[in-house]
Amino acid sequence: MVTHKFWILVLVVVIFIGNMSYIYYNNIKVASLLGFIQSSELQNVTDTKPVTVPRLTGMWTVGPAGRLGNLMGEYATLYALAKLNGHQAYINQNMHNQLSKIFKIKLPVINDEAISRIRWRDYWLHDWMSPEYANIQGEFVRLGGYPCSFTFYDHIKNEILEEFTFLDYVKEESYAYLDKARGDRENVTFVGIHVRRGDYVHVMPNTWKGVVADKGYLDKATDYFRQKYENPLFIVTSNGMDWCKENMNNSRGDIHFAGDGHEGSPGRDFALLAHCNHTIMTIGTFGVWAGYLVGGETVYLDKYVLPDSPFLKVFKYEAAFLPEWIGIPADLSPLTGKKDTN
């Protein structure tokens, strides 16, 4: 009996020692394996070269000129060209004051005194992107001109749209206005219309051998959307609202004239246009930017100056209007004396 218990005890001890040896041996293998992995990872980290992001240097700015549409074009062009050339963009206080009324712009502001003390390299831009603009020399560059072409910044469109994100209160006001204008209508498609008149009524024919949008153009543009969409509602902003009310065909009651026709609240008018679904523009950067921000269908007035116009030395249709936008040729008969056949 004692002998039997003795051998059972021996067997238990042998099994225990065997298990402990197995565990110990495997722990050594596991530890060795983990050590190998860790040393390999450390080696990989050591061998991998750190990724460096080029630091933006210097100070680039732009001489702000013109009104809201011009300022937006200058801001976007500065943003794009400074980034392309590896420099930090800054805007002056005046540009910031104007654009920050409605947008969440993020470029830093340079103090007016600092601007006056810096030796700037003034660099004039024409209104479309050129190869040499990718290699502008200078740490302190001040861009000039009236650039407002998508060719400067369309390759970083998402960044530009983020810069021109509307302030929350502006969004709320715009949507509330459009909701009120809609009334009891259902499934409405909002089409923003900007009719530029004012000084352009005289400047275009007398200086640029061109025309502004007329009744015929606006009829064609609105009819395009009427034929394509079931319930379009046209939201009209203009600095010549009396002319719009007299000349636009509102027999269907689908045109809403917004504002008082004066230029005291361009930010509010622009926000209304930018919160519509589609855009009809006439001429000018105000309408161009509305179409760009909306992102829907954009109809524009095309070929609105004579072929020998000096305007074509500083302007290119193909650089102003995106390829997918829809152009309707202007009636140039008031300038040529020939009847329009379009």
State the residue for tokens 């636009």: 248
Rounded CA gap, 301 and 325, in Å? 10
pLDDT digits (tens, 9 = 90+) for 188-232: 999 999 999 999 999 999 999 999 999 999 999 999 999 999 999
- The predicted pLDDT at position 14 comes to 42
Count of CB atoms situated within 10 Å of the CB of 213 = 27
Residue type, 139: E
Q: Return the higher-pLDDT residue of 260 and 12.
A: 260
Q: Return the higher-pLDDT residue of 176 and 42.
A: 176
Count of CB atoms situated within 10 Å of the CB of 126 = 16
- The predicted pLDDT at position 50 comes to 53
Query: Options 3.40.50, 3.30.70, 2.40.50, 3.10.110; which CATH number does 167-336 get?
Result: 3.40.50
State the pLDDT confidence band at 56, using cuts at 50, 70 and 90.
Answer: confident
Rounded CA gap, 259 and 317, in Å? 30
What mean pLDDT comes out for the span 65-72?
95
User: Given a cut of 70, is residue 21 above it in pLDDT?
Assistant: no
- The predicted pLDDT at position 24 comes to 41
pLDDT digits (tens, 9 = 90+) for 144-168: 999 999 999 999 999 999 999 999 9
User: Given a cut of 50, is residue 298 above it in pLDDT?
Assistant: yes
Q: Return the higher-pLDDT residue of 315 and 40.
A: 315
User: How many angstroms from the chain centroid is the CA of residue 146?
Assistant: 17
- The predicted pLDDT at position 57 comes to 82
pTM (global) more than 0.85: no
What mean pLDDT comes out for the span 254-264?
77
What mean pLDDT comes out for the span 268-280?
97
According to DSSP, residue 118 is labeled S
Boundaries of every domain in the chain:
57-160, 167-336
User: Given a cut of 70, is residue 62 above it in pLDDT?
Assistant: yes
Rounded CA gap, 300 and 325, in Å? 7
pLDDT digits (tens, 9 = 90+) for 1-17: 545 555 555 444 444 44
Mean pLDDT of the chain: 87
pLDDT digits (tens, 9 = 90+) for 84-138: 999 999 999 999 999 999 999 999 999 999 999 999 999 999 999 999 999 999 9
Query: With b meaning 16 or more CB within 10 Å and e meaning fewer, what string describes 68-107?
Result: bbbbbbbbbbbbbbbbbbebbbbbbeebbebbeebbebeb
- The predicted pLDDT at position 27 comes to 44
User: Given a cut of 70, is residue 174 above it in pLDDT?
Assistant: yes
Kindly state the greatest CA–CA separation across the chain: 132
User: Given a cut of 60, is residue 29 above it in pLDDT?
Assistant: no
Task: Decide: helix, strand or coil at residue 255.
Answer: strand
